[in-house]
Amino acid sequence: MPDILFAEAFQLWGSPTTWLEIAAVVLALAMVACNIREIHWGWPLAIASSLLYFALFWRSKLYGDASLQMFFALIALWGWFQWLRGKRPDGSALRVARLTRPALAAALAAGAVLWPLIALFLDSYTDTDVAWWDAFPTAFSVVGQILLGRKYIENWAVWIAVNMVAAGLFAFKGLWLTTGLYIVFIALSLAGWRAWRARLA
């Protein structure tokens, strides 16, 4: 990746903000705006933003979040296909829907299992100093992304929790622009929840 992307654009509360972080923030905001409106172009924006954030997080030793960005880039291809061609099990078009109680329990259980597994891996095999905090948004973002791809409204609740933890994590690392982005994401997730609730099939 060109060194100019890691060049300092300005200082924010004593920490350098790079051109790469600025570009990633702009793409991420455009992506969420598309998601709220169910515009499928949010998925390629997700790929581009994720690749930029992979580089930023890796340099900041946020290996869980960095790895998550590669997952995001790959699953965005799946999500894009789902939004263009996806069907419900009964063959109907993919529309905003609610999870059944068993499906919701399974989704939460998946995140609860992934969280300690990822944390233990990061603690054992990387030099991160925030293994458990890094692992939480990593684990539950996997859940949220799958729910988003299948247009389940509960994805927004997952993103609210993820964004709250992530904002604190990025503040700890001095990534202030990204911290601000994730605070905005909390508000956008609430807006997305309200917008999708109005479209429930």
Band (5; pLDDT cuts 50, 70, 90): low
Partnered with residue 97 across adjacent β-strands are: 152
Between CA 138 and CA 42, with CA 105 as vertex, the angle to 5 degrees is 45
Supply the angle between the helices 155-172 and 131-149 in degrees, to the nearest 10: 150
| Among 123, 107, 6, 144, CA closest to 64 | 123
How far is the C-alpha of 119 from the C-alpha of 62, rounded, in Å? Answer: 12
Long-range CB contact pairs, 117-120, < 8 A, 24+: 118/64
Residue 64 in contact with residue 135, Cβ under 8 Å?
yes
What residue segments make up the domains of the chain, in order of their start?
3-87+103-198
Q: What is the pLDDT of residues 12-62, one digit of tens each?
A: 667 777 888 889 989 999 999 999 999 999 999 999 999 998 988 888 888
pLDDT at 43: 96
- Closest to 117 measured CA to CA, from 102, 92, 134: 134
In single-letter form, the type of residue at position 135 comes to: A
Q: What average pLDDT is seen over the chain? A: 90
CA 138 to chain centre: 8
Q: Taking Cα atoms as reference points, which of 56, 46, 47, 51 lies closest to residue 21? A: 56
Residues in the chain, overall count:
201
The string of pLDDT tens digits covering residues 114-151 is: 999 999 998 998 888 889 998 999 899 999 999 999 99
Identify the bridge partners of residue 11 per DSSP, sorted by sequence position.
Answer: 16
Claim: this prediction has a pTM higher than 0.75: yes
- Quick check: helix, strand or coil at residue 2? coil
Query: What b/e string do you get for 99-129 counting C-beta neighbours within 10 Å, with b at 16 or more?
Result: beeeeeeebeeebeebbeebbebbeeebebe
Counting residues of the chain whose pLDDT is more than 70, the rounded percentage is 94
- Whether 10 has a pLDDT exceeding 70, the answer reads no
